[in-house]
Structure 1
Amino acid sequence: MAGKRLTPLSKILIVAAIIGGVYYLLNMLRDPEVKEKINEVTSKASSSKTKDGYNDVLNIGVVTWGGYAGGQYFNEGFKANTESRFYKDYGFKVNFKVIDDFDASRDAFKNGDIDLMWATIDAFPTEVAGLAQYQPQVVFQADWSRGGDAIVARRGISRVSDLKGKKIAVAPMTPSHSFLIWLLEAGDLTPKDVSIVEVPSAIDAADAFKSGTVDAAVVWSPDDADCVSKVAGSRVLESTKNATHIIADVFVAKKEFVETHKDQLRDLYEGWMIGASELNASDSNKRKAAKILAEGLSQPEDFCYDAINNVRLATHGDNENFFGLNQGYKGVTGEDLYNKMKVKYNDLGYSTSGAKSWRLLSTKDLVTKTTSLTGANHTPEKQKEFTAVKPELVDKESLSSKKVSISFNTGEYKLGENAKQLIDIQFTSIARAFANARIRIEGNTDNVGNRNSNIALSKKRAQAVADYLISEHSMPKNRFIIIGNGPDKPVPGCERNQNADCKAKNRRTDFELVVD
């Protein structure tokens, strides 16, 4: 019996049904939840590729921040997936969990929901004791903040000294708090000289500033620009574009996890550093990373692109410097920052007595045993190259001024060992932390002797201080602006050099941070 032929109408209906089915399937595949389910199934089906002894998926806790872009870019997204270069090159998957709530991120670490958690070394001394039973280990540095954190101030506040007695909104024991502590120190102030208004986060600090309840606030970018646009006459007083070495993002793992997953963590580090180096070298790669961050963070693409540009993505060479492995490096190490902030927070009443030493808190294995990362893209960041000092910088208003009483023998300008020690204690760390700002050094004397001779002598003394910082701490020569005031700028209240105490106060060296 011959088969029945399909009518033209039947053929059309069948074709329409097939097209409809394909269209429905394509729409289903575009659904994020369906895509995630497919990825999970694919991930489980291909788990046999995972290296022996490796976790199939490493879970990493992050916040809404651009400094982790190196790893997220190398991973081709936030979710564990088989397109990830971690998977293709090293045989395991990575899953980034965005946990913006600080306490929730720490609970996730303690409970084992994440294998690595973010932290910043400057604020880490305040929480080490609470994590003691897990023996936290700093395993690598992800970035330095370079504009991601800023201090906004209302009209009339143009220098750090103008903050005295003012209300400042800040989230305590966070990178924002660390930044404020450093800036006040650079201006010869302490947190006790201002009125601290504690808020839960930098976002709340921005809201407090815009509401007019505070005079200044420590905020994140792009909230700094938003604050300035909405509060008439306000300004960004300072940001981490100049305060380059204060806020360092790192990743922390439990000691037991480090010991049982050394090879996998080393592969994670290597891939992450490759990703960071590729972003540092290419704007088009940053644009690609911005798309990845936009999806993973649910933020606009432009926001994510700016966030990446507001950090220095740490390279392998930067990590060697951070962990003190480069003997010629004179900049800020993780140990420097950790130890300084441990003291600073303790002095402010935030107990850090339970914070272990840096040697027990950090592991250098990931960095020292990674030998394949060579070439220009993996070298450490170079110091800023300052142009020759122009005349207008001599009189330009400074951001901050710190007075240090350096003793010289009468009529001499040679620095003694005690004077060098005093400079290192009171100013060198500030100079290294604010590495993108110029330093104006002003020598001052009392009124004893010839004025012109005192002016010449005071300039030689200021130059001697600069020469020490250049030779001993490898600071760029063009960074310094040298001024000799002689007796012409006495301390207020001691204009007449009326007694020995006033004369001693006037024999000083002023260190000022000047922003180009």
Structure 2
Amino acid sequence: MSVLVTLLLCLGLISAAPAQNLETLQAKPLVDQIRVKAKPVKSGNSFKVPMITWGGDVATIHADQQKLFKKNNLNAEIFVENNFAKQVEACLKGETPYLRGTMGMINAAAEVFQKNGVDLVVVYQMTWSNGGDAMVVRKNVRKPQRLKGKTVALQLYGPHMDYAFNILKTAGVPLSSVTFKWFSELTLPTFDTDGKIIDPVNAFLEDDSIDAAMAIIPDAMNLTSGGRGGTGSAGSVKGAKIMVSTKTASRVIADVYAVRADYFKNNRAEVERFVNTLLQAQESLQTLLQNKASQQARYQQLMSRSADLLMGAPQAVPDVEGLLADCEFVGFQGNVAFFTGKGTSRTLAKLTSEIQSAFKEVGLMKQSVKIEGAGWQYDKLSKGLKFVNAAPQPKKKFDTKKVAAKIESQISAEATEWAEDDTLFQVEINFAPNQSTFSEEQYASDFSKALEIAQTYGGSLIVVEGHSDPLGILRAREKGKTPVEVRQMEQKAKNLSLERSKSVRQAFLSFAAHNKMQVDESQFVSVGLGVVSPKFSPPRTKEEWAANRRVVFRIKQVEAELDEFVPLK
């Protein structure tokens, strides 16, 4: 759809409305928007299953097409509803017991259900967004920290609310310091808007007071001229770049199914069969995708039906394939991890806590609402599944030797630019003179922060930089030491900083293992910078001298790299 809009703009067949025609919404809790009263779920042998336009929902379509619901004695009727408020109303009115959305959307709705005396129970995690969503920024915003005092455009009650808030909070930017412009649509709608701009993407195009916009990846690519940086041609913004997509922030947007608690209490066995069927469909779909060359007819049939249901056009198969490429199915073990915390901090409880905290801060919720998990007995839930014991292990993303060599080259060319470019966040650890060991007890707080970022931004590269204080070398120059002697001191400082970096990295990995958290060791690359990038040069106080002795966890967005930083296959 985004490609079509860009083409029409180029041909002059449609025109963008002027910036003054932006139609923004007031951010207020969903509970103040929806007046529908809760009614019992309609009784009968069948139930409706909502879907949204997302790659993960192809598995639900696959379950229906392969008659997996019927095989499990379920009479399910699938339908697409991208207007989340309408979904909430239908669920409240008892037209369906289920609610389909991201964890952010589910939390926004929870207060509405609580007001009606009905709780929500999250029963199934479908996917993580792994590349399908992005924050696009203008050229004056190079790092998340620079969003303080800026304006961000996004859809109200859509999938990007908690994503935007996570980026800002991780960067230490108070949400109160950011102006949010809220829109009713996620992207340019297919219906006539009467010249009004009602989505963040076109608002970003037309209103240069908007510094950042949350967008699905096709729109983000258009705004940034294919991700290379906006040229200013039709459909793009000059200098615009993708600051961070969910390819980097791969554990932020979780897509789930929730069910009304009253229905769950009375129909627990049915809901369990529903979740088991979705897990079976997910396994079957992934097998089909792996063997599509030999099962072309079956594959094309699924893609055409998915395109018809999700996109409104059977020929929109490439768009469906793009959605599939941007989602990460979590499977059975992923559900175990999400609901129990096995190997991860990115759990139902954690996401609920951070989402509700942010929503209350910006006025999207009035109070905290309890959202429970299903409490499944996973041995029963695994019935009929093939990959139950295939516990996921972190895949090596990077060739650490090549990455380290590339980093060394970039730092040698321009240390300051290296520190600025594509750095999202950083965690600093200071140490004493001549310190060579870094205990978990002493650095637990710093390690916990680094671990949380590493798990949330699972696609990032985390450079563990060792830094030395330059005071001794500065004094040596002042005393007239020869260039050879100074270079030897610089090399010694660099070697020492690398050893400290390696020690901190190993201590951190031991900390993660001790806490039973899975991390990809290749995501962490040690480098020694020696004295090339001190915080203070020269240090003039004892405090500045101590601040120069540090190890920095630098979290880098590497999606734009084309050679050494390309993840391993």
d(CA) in 2 for partners of 1:463 and 1:195?
41
Q: 1: CA distance between counterparts of 2:341 and 2:144?
A: 35
Structure 2 equivalent of residue 4 of structure 1: none
**Displacement of 1:187:** 4.4
Per-residue deviation, 1:424:
3.8
Match of 1:422 among 445, 448, 467: 445
Unpaired runs of 5+ residues, structure 1, are 1-53, 77-82
Indicate yes or no: 2:163 matched with 1:170: no
Alignment of 1:334-353 (within 5 A): 334-348=348-362, 350-351=364-365, 353=367
Measured in 1, the distance between the counterparts of 2:528 and 2:174 equals 28
User: What per-residue deviation string (whole Å, max 9, x for no partner) do you get for residues 179-217 of structure 1?
Assistant: 223333454544455443333343211111222432321
1:120 has 2:96 as partner: no
Equivalent in 57, 68, 93 of residue 68 of structure 1: 57
Secondary structure of the corresponding residue to residue 282 of structure 1: helix
> Residues of 2 paired with 1:274 and 1:199: CA distance?
37
Question: What amino acid does structure 2 have at the position aligned with 1:438?
Answer: L
Residue 92 in 1 paired to residue 92 in 2? no
Q: Deviations over 1:217-269 (max 9, x none)?
A: 11113222233342144332221122111110111111121121122112111
2:220 to 217, 224, 229: 224
Task: Write the distance in 2 (CA, Å) between the matches of 1:336 and 1:395.
Answer: 39
State the 1:163 CA deviation. 4.2
The answer for the alignment partner of 2:306 in structure 1 is 293
C-alpha distance in 1 between matches for 2:329 and 2:204: 30
How far did residue 464 of structure 1 move?
2.6
* CA distance in structure 2 between the partners assigned to 1:498 and 1:418 by the alignment: 31
Is the radius of gyration larger for structure 1 or structure 2?
1
Q: Which residue in the other structure is 1:496 paired with?
A: 538
CA contact (8 A) 1:160 1:399 kept: no
User: Which of these residues, 253, 257, 261, is aligned with residue 267 of structure 2?
Assistant: 261
| Partners of 2:46 and 2:74 within 8 A in 1 | yes
Of 443, 452, 459, which aligns to 2:498? 459
Please state how far the C-alpha of 1:355 moved relative to its aligned partner: 1.9
> Percent identity among equivalent residues?
19
Q: Deviations over 1:94-136 (max 9, x none)?
A: 1223222222111111111111111322454444333222111
Q: 2:461 matched to which residue of 1?
A: 438
Tell whether 2:529 aligns with 1:485: yes
Structure 2 CA distance for partners of 1:429 and 1:122, relative to 1, 3 Å: farther
User: Distance between the aligned counterparts of 2:532 and 2:163, measured in 1?
Assistant: 33
Going from structure 1 to structure 2, the CA distance change for 1:446 and 1:169 (only over 3 Å counts) comes to: same
Q: How many residues align?
A: 450
Per the alignment, do residues 352 and 504 of structure 1 end up closer, same or farther by CA in structure 2, a change over 3 Å counting?
farther
1:389 aligns with 2:409: no
The separation in 1 between residues aligned to 2:341 and 2:243, in whole angstroms, is: 35
Secondary structure of residue in 2 paired with 1:332: coil
- 2:128 corresponds, among 137, 144, 151, to 144
Contact preservation (8 Å) 1:136, 1:255: yes
1:273 aligns to what SS in structure 2? helix
1:443-477 per-position Cα deviation (integer Å, ceiling 9, x unaligned): 23444546645444433332233213323324233
Unpaired stretches in structure 2, ≥5 consecutive residues: 1-42, 188-198, 226-234, 293-297, 411-417, 474-488, 513-517, 559-564
Match of 2:251 among 231, 240, 245: 245
The one-letter code sitting in structure 1 at the alignment partner of 2:551 is: T
Match of 1:379 in 2: 390
* Cα distance change on mapping 1:393 and 1:175 into 2, 3 Å: farther
Judged with a 3 Å threshold, the aligned counterparts in structure 2 of structure 1 residues 120 and 168 are, in CA distance, closer, same or farther, namely same
2:15 corresponds to which residue? Answer: none
1:436/1:278 CA distance change after superposition, 3 Å:
same
Distance 1:331 1:287, change over 3 A: farther
- Give the letter for the 2:395 counterpart: K
1:412 aligns with 2:435: yes
Cα 1:74/1:253, change in 2 over 3 Å: same
Q: Root-mean-square deviation (CA), in Å?
A: 2.9
From the superposition, tell whether residues 175 and 504 of structure 1 become closer, same or farther in structure 2 (CA, over 3 Å): farther
TM norm structure 1: 0.78
